[in-house]
Structure 1
Amino acid sequence: MKNNHKLSKKHAVKAHHFALAPHKAKKQYLIPLEVVNAVFDEKSTSTRAWRKYLGLRKKHLAQQLEISKDQYSRLEAKKKPSRALLRQVATAMGIHVRQLDF
């Protein structure tokens, strides 16, 4: 488990560097280092980390998903939501599902 943690973070740093030179990246779905750190160091879910990074409110995302704020909070607390649910959340956040599912 520890090796995966280091490997994932290493790839995230590499992706962060691609963001500095996007002309070299071919359809990369980049994940900001702040999001990666929140997930791995702070034990946050990727959904929560992205929401905070993007400066979005739970209420706003709940409205976009047509669910209550409480339902959104439960969704955000899940460690591994379904792919279909992740796709909906990613669309509401304005990111690609691959950026949310790591």
Structure 2
Amino acid sequence: MNARTNIQFINNELGQPQFVVMPYTQYLELSKSKQIDTEAGVPSEVVNMVFDNNYSPAQAWRKYLNLSQVDVANRIGISKSAYSQYYKIQKLRKSMRIKIAEALQIKPELLDF
């Protein structure tokens, strides 16, 4: 027996699920109960900062996580002035993207959008 659901799947060109559409109230309930892994994607607040304020992904994530430039620089092991050279770069070199992601405690690919 197939149960009715308000959830819809949108498949990619290979027929594999790529997106899920669900009622917003259900999404809110799931996100509050931590059944949605926010580490797997970029929060809309971060995306909005990048597009609305012309922030780099690293800058938007830092602000979203409420960290100072000094906090991130210290976690990387570089000076604030050295970090500020990378801070506004839209597309970081792979090695720096990995270091900044580790400092922010996110996956490196979340800085590459």
| 1:100 is the counterpart of 2:101 | no
Aligned counterpart in structure 1 of residue 90 of structure 2, from 54, 79, 82: 79
- Which structure has the larger Rg over C-alpha atoms? 2
Aligned counterpart in structure 1 of residue 67 of structure 2, from 56, 59, 62: 56
Q: How much has 1:64 moved relative to structure 2? A: 1.2
Instruction: Report which of the two has the higher share of helix.
Output: 1
User: What 5-or-longer segments of structure 2 have no aligned partner?
Assistant: 1-20, 22-26
Change (3 A) 1:47 1:23: same
Q: Distance in 2 between matches of 1:29 and 1:49?
A: 17
Identity %: 33
2:5 corresponds to which residue?
Answer: none
Instruction: Report which of the two has the higher share of strand.
Output: 2
Name the SS for the 2:40 alignment partner.
coil
Q: Distance in 2 between matches of 1:30 and 1:90?
A: 14
* Greater RCO, CA 8 A, separation 6+: 1
Q: TM-score, normalised by structure 2?
A: 0.65
Q: Distance in 2 between matches of 1:57 and 1:24?
A: 27
Query: In the TM superposition, what whole-angstrom CA distance separates every residue of 1:31-60 from its partner, at most 9, and x where no partner exists?
Result: 110000011111110000000000011111
Q: TM-score, normalised by structure 1?
A: 0.72
For these two proteins, the number of residue pairs brought into alignment is 86
Q: How much has 1:81 moved relative to structure 2? A: 1.2
Over the residues paired in the alignment, what is the CA RMSD in angstroms? 2.4
